[in-house]
Structure 1
Amino acid sequence: MELHVVINGRKDLAGQLYRQLRGAIEGGRLAAGMQLPPSRLLAEQLGISRKTISDIYAQLTYENFLIGRVGKGTYVNARPSKASRRRNVSDLACADSINTWLSLPSPLPDPAQAGTVRYDFVGGATHKSQFPHDEWRRCTQYALRQMQRAAGFYSQPEGLPALRGAIAQHIAFCRGVVCREENVVVCNGTQQALDLISRVVLVSGSIVAVEDPGYPPARMLFTSQGATVVGVAVDEEGLRVDLIPDGTRLIYVTPAHQFPMGMPMSSARRTALLKRAKELGAIIIEDDYDSEFRYEDLPTDSLQSMDEHGNVIFVGTFSKTMLPELRLGYAVLPPSIHEAIVKAKQVMDWHTSILAQWALAKFMTDGKLQKHIRRGHTIYAGRRERILNRLNGDLSAWLEAIHITAGFHITARFKHPIDLDLLIELCRKVEVSLYSIERFFYQTTPQCGLLIGFGSIETLDIDPALDRLHDILMQLDAR
């Protein structure tokens, strides 16, 4: 790879090269520790004598910009780089748009902070130690062999047929979703599925109804598309269908395991929601983010399986069952919107990584995903039971757990007023991370409670962590 240096004319060759190298080092384009080409190679590249190159290297070494290592070569020396010149945002024509994005709050806990304490009840995350890395590695090797046999061009925007077929079988078996391979579009996680849908369905000012409390990244995404996002309250049966405003074009719900409160949507409420969507001509996004892990009661029908008019898009992810870093999800689309979504996917990023798709297809068709889910279910069921025993036991004086039947987080509301920020701060000082549900409320009055995730905390760590929470609650009461 050649060093990018531009020589204009044949005058002052040494000066041109010296100024460019020094400027690149000062500006940070040539980073500390980067090796420069040997003087012979650079001389051949630029058509300059080798002695001139050597003299310039020597001068920059004398000035402490470069450092020579005997037998190894010439390297950029570590030194502070000059601050790059940046134009003020206010000078740009797009300043309003930039400031709108900058003003958005962080939608979820900072991933960089997660896992920095000993006992972390972060929601929506699993521990990597539970993932079958060896089996996934073999699937990845299989994927590389498949790619080696391929023509080497771009693939289908909707995803590999092998993976779409495996997904269709999986969700038909686990969730009763009515679909075939041609109804599935593979996405880079749920968030891209939501983005694709909103790009196709919404125009500026369109009304979107979301659960309140609900999932902030979805709400923020719809807002970024120029939609008017309306928070619709939830109760013990799920979304209040009677509060969905006229003119709504898109409805976003999590009926199997309401995020963040945890209750499933009742059958009567599901029927009412489908009826209301038909009246409005609205699209329903059914986000089925973690319902593979079910602990009690019979599974409820998915909205998609109850839909007789093509209003429901079923969206799922492998971030919860596998690893978030894989960024693999899918959408099951009714015929009316399928072609438009596929075109939007192609325009946005053409297709999701083929390596990851082949590996996941192999992982699923070999039965590895179901095996992994069964293994995880046993672990999560034990953790859920431990937490519920404590919430219904010595912690019941302060907290009331909302009944959940699926997923791997529990929401518990405080029975009495408490300084929740202080509680979270004190818990973090004793190596326990807790998370408030307040950030999930949008237009309805926030409730005081905790979202207690049990996907990533070790089972044997739950009781010691909750012991510390109990002690701090006792101390706060004493005050």
Structure 2
Amino acid sequence: MDIVIELPDDPARPAYQRLAEAIRESILGGRFRAGERLPPTRVLAGNLSLARNTVLEAYAQLIAEGYLAARHGSGTFVAPDLPDRAFRAESIAANVARDGQGAPPRLSGFARRLVAGEVPTAIDEETQRPTDFEFRYGTPSFDEFPIDAWRTLTKRVLDYPPKELLGYGPTQGLPQLREALARYLQRSRGVRCDANQVLVVNGSQQALDVGARVLIDPGDVVAIEDPGYRGARAVFQAMGARVMPVPCDNEGIVVDAIPDEARVIYVTPSHQFPTGAVMSASRRLELLARASRTGAVIIEDDYDSEFRYEGRPLAALQGLDEGGRVIYTGTLSKVLLPALRLGYMVAPPSLQPAITGAKWLTDRHVALLYQAVLALFIDEGHFERHLRRMRKVYETRRSTLLTAFAEHFGSRAAITGTESGMHVLVNIQGVSDADSFIETARASGVGIYSARSYYLGSPPAGASFLMGYSSVNEDGIRRGIEILAKVAGTRP
């Protein structure tokens, strides 16, 4: 029996899936009737110029779905009752749509704020196709990740898995990881905590979400830096908070401008995002005094303080807190790999029960395998060796970036945030249309990102760009800045 079937034109999908879809549509469309025998696999394969295994897999999938039935010694047949059921379902769906009963479910206020565009996110940037020279901020150098050490430790954990890895784990995180993180934070960042205060989370974004859930009711005032991190702003707005932008200067957030009614104050004191300003010790004490006086809670986002190149490192704001008013959050996404989705938060003991409960409701706990491997990675010294190495790598790339801008742009490019971190803020004078500049640069193979969306108020004159240098090597940095200079119309 010759049979004509047209496979969907979708070469990205396996041929057996496309053949199964074509036969399924033929059954639902009435070309193949209930009980009708289909051609033998060898015959159909010859008719369609397909491998016989492709037809076998397609038949097997349709049998599993209930569209076909195999009779031993007789062949493969269309299931006797499926078409009627399918047509009945289509008829019911059509009636529901015609009668107006197919209206979408009512959304919560939280969901309405999300879909109405009231909550800014970076999803648009995350879906951008990478360019040849991608200056995306916050992306570590994948080539430098100590994959051999990570693989060895992972194998050790899997060869002799502890019992807690085989079931549900503690919401706060594996005890050995919390202890390792507490020791690391104490010696490297001056954080005052013990392991009981450490909560392991899926990146610092989840730490912000959990903190917001336990601190904010709709209508509460939250003070944030302006400019500031969009991910934090999005969390607070999604919770229904009244977000109040507070200006920043070269020492970080201006404390006198924080409204007294602010229930939460969100800051990035070690490397203000995105300007790179470092909050002075006196400004930190001033901020803590204000929080104590007004009863506010400070969320300290210490997202990339591991990388500091100039001046003495300042201890975490949390280490100066005497009144239990600071929640400290950090991430390993920028230090190791974003794909690991590992972060931590250190909260005052008074907030621990609520924060642990909110974390349990969100996702119970972070993946236990990664936690166990990371605990070994820290305890055996791999983590801090990796940090020391990456500081040198990033410092070289930072210097290369600054030299390239000086060579190709001169005084037209004002750069801030050079003391630490993995990005700088670049303001280029003479670029009248930042969006067009970005589009032309991407077409030329250079990925850059506007800083405009980080300002709730008016951005500075000129075109500002957030430029990460951590994932581009020195040659790529030089070439990328040279291309940007051509796009901007400057000459070396």
The interval holding the TM-score normalised by the smaller chain is 0.7 to 0.9
Q: For residues 172-183 of structure 1, what are the structure 2 equivalents within 5 Å?
A: 172-183=186-197
SS in 2 for 1:58: coil
Structure 2 gaps, min length 5: 1-7, 9-13, 20-33, 63-86
Question: Which residue of structure 2 aligns with residue 457 of structure 1?
Answer: 472
Q: For residues 66-465 of structure 1, what are the structure 2 equivalents within 5 Å?
A: 70=52, 74-76=56-58, 91-94=104-107, 98-104=111-117, 105-107=120-122, 110-114=125-129, 116-147=130-161, 149-150=163-164, 152-416=166-430, 418-445=432-459, 448-465=463-480
- Separation in structure 2 between the aligned mates of residue 389 and residue 383 of structure 1, nearest angstrom: 10
Q: CA deviation at 1:227?
A: 1.0
Q: CA deviation at 1:390?
A: 2.9
Amino acid at match of 2:415: A
- Separation in structure 2 between the aligned mates of residue 89 and residue 179 of structure 1, nearest angstrom: 53
- Separation in structure 2 between the aligned mates of residue 318 and residue 262 of structure 1, nearest angstrom: 19
The change in CA–CA distance for 1:150 and 1:238 in structure 2 (over 3 A counts) is closer
Q: CA deviation at 1:113?
A: 2.1
Amino acid at match of 2:267: V
- Separation in structure 1 between the aligned mates of residue 257 and residue 152 of structure 2, nearest angstrom: 50
- Indicate if the aligned counterparts of 1:212 and 1:444 stay in contact, CA closer than 8 A: no
- Separation in structure 2 between the aligned mates of residue 71 and residue 252 of structure 1, nearest angstrom: 59
Question: Which residue of structure 2 aligns with residue 20 of structure 1?
Answer: none
Q: CA deviation at 1:422?
A: 2.2
Amino acid at match of 1:58: L
Deviations 1:48-86 (A, max 9, x none): xxxxxx96662798999x99964687333899xx9x979
Deviations 1:154-196 (A, max 9, x none): 1110001110011111111221111111110000100111111
> Please, what is the CA RMSD of the aligned residues?
3.4
Deviations 1:383-409 (A, max 9, x none): 111112233444123111114321110
Deviations 1:6-47 (A, max 9, x none): xxxxxxxxxxxxxxxxxxx9xxxxx973699xxxxxxxxxxx
- The TM-score, its normalising length taken from structure 1, stands at 0.81
Select between 179-188 and 105-114 the one with higher mean Cα deviation.
105-114
Amino acid at match of 2:122: P
- Indicate if the aligned counterparts of 1:126 and 1:320 stay in contact, CA closer than 8 A: yes
- Indicate if the aligned counterparts of 1:199 and 1:225 stay in contact, CA closer than 8 A: yes
Amino acid at match of 1:107: A
The change in CA–CA distance for 1:284 and 1:32 in structure 2 (over 3 A counts) is farther
- Indicate if the aligned counterparts of 1:213 and 1:444 stay in contact, CA closer than 8 A: no
- Separation in structure 2 between the aligned mates of residue 294 and residue 71 of structure 1, nearest angstrom: 58
- Indicate if the aligned counterparts of 1:156 and 1:351 stay in contact, CA closer than 8 A: yes
- Indicate if the aligned counterparts of 2:431 and 2:488 stay in contact, CA closer than 8 A: no
Asked if 1:470 is matched to 2:485, the reply is: yes
The change in CA–CA distance for 1:224 and 1:154 in structure 2 (over 3 A counts) is same
Structure 1 gaps, min length 5: 1-24, 26-30, 37-53
Asked if 1:58 is matched to 2:72, the reply is: no
- Separation in structure 2 between the aligned mates of residue 149 and residue 444 of structure 1, nearest angstrom: 55
Aligned length: 428
Amino acid at match of 1:132: P
- Separation in structure 1 between the aligned mates of residue 108 and residue 268 of structure 2, nearest angstrom: 35
Question: Which residue of structure 1 aligns with residue 16 of structure 2?
Answer: 33
- Indicate if the aligned counterparts of 1:255 and 1:288 stay in contact, CA closer than 8 A: yes
- Separation in structure 2 between the aligned mates of residue 56 and residue 358 of structure 1, nearest angstrom: 56
- Separation in structure 1 between the aligned mates of residue 423 and residue 54 of structure 2, nearest angstrom: 54
The change in CA–CA distance for 1:265 and 1:416 in structure 2 (over 3 A counts) is farther
Deviations 1:117-169 (A, max 9, x none): 11111101013111011111112122324535448331110001110011111
Question: Which residue of structure 1 aligns with residue 71 of structure 2?
Answer: none
Give % identity. Answer: 36
The change in CA–CA distance for 1:89 and 1:186 in structure 2 (over 3 A counts) is farther
Q: CA deviation at 1:303?
A: 0.6
The change in CA–CA distance for 1:150 and 1:244 in structure 2 (over 3 A counts) is closer
Select between 241-250 and 316-325 the one with higher mean Cα deviation.
241-250
Q: CA deviation at 1:327?
A: 0.4
The change in CA–CA distance for 1:75 and 1:403 in structure 2 (over 3 A counts) is closer
SS in 2 for 1:208: strand
